Structure 1
Amino acid sequence: MSGSVFGNRFKISTWGESHGEGIGVVVDGCPSGLFINEEYIQTYLNRRKPGQSEFSTPRKEADKVRILSGVFEGRTTGTPISLVVFNENQRSSDYSQIASYYRPGHADYTYDQKYGFRDYRGGGRSSGRETTGRVAAGAIAGAILKELGVAVYAYTKSIGPVSIDYQKCRKDLALKSPLVMPDLEASARAEEYILKQKAEENSVGGVIECIVTGMPAGIGEPVFDKLDAALAKAIMSIGAIKGVEIGDGFEVAKHTGFENNDSFFYDEDQNLTKLSNHSGGIVGGISDGFEIILRAAVKPTASIGRSQKTVNKSKENVDVQIGGRHDPIIVPRAVVVVESMVAITLVDYLFQGMTSRLDKIKEFYK
Structure 2
Amino acid sequence: MTSTFRSAKAWLAAGALTLALAAPALAQQSDPKWDAWLQKSQLGPYQKSEKWDEVVANAKKEGEVVVYSSSGTMLKVAEDFAKFYPEIKVKAYDLGSEKTIEKVVREHQAGIYAADVVYSGGTEQMVFDLLPNHRVVNYVPSYLTDKIPAEHREPLLTHVIEAYGVFYNAEAHPQPPIKTIWELTEPQWKGRFSMKSPAGSLTTLMMLAAIVEHSDEMQKAYEQHYGKKLQLSSGVENAGYEFLHRLVGNDIVISDNSSKIATAVGLRGQAKPPMAFSVIHYLTKNQSDNYANAVPYDLTPSALFSYPTYVTVAGQAPHPNAAKLFVAFLMGSKDLNSNSDLKAPFRSGKSLELLQGMAAFYQVGTFSPRTDVPAPPYSEMWPKAKKLTASPEFVKDNIAKISDFWMAETSR
TM above 0.5, yes or no, is no
Greater share of residues in strand: 1
Higher helix share: 2
> Using CA pairs below 8 Å that are at least 6 residues apart, which structure has the higher relative contact order?
2
TM-score by length of 2: 0.26
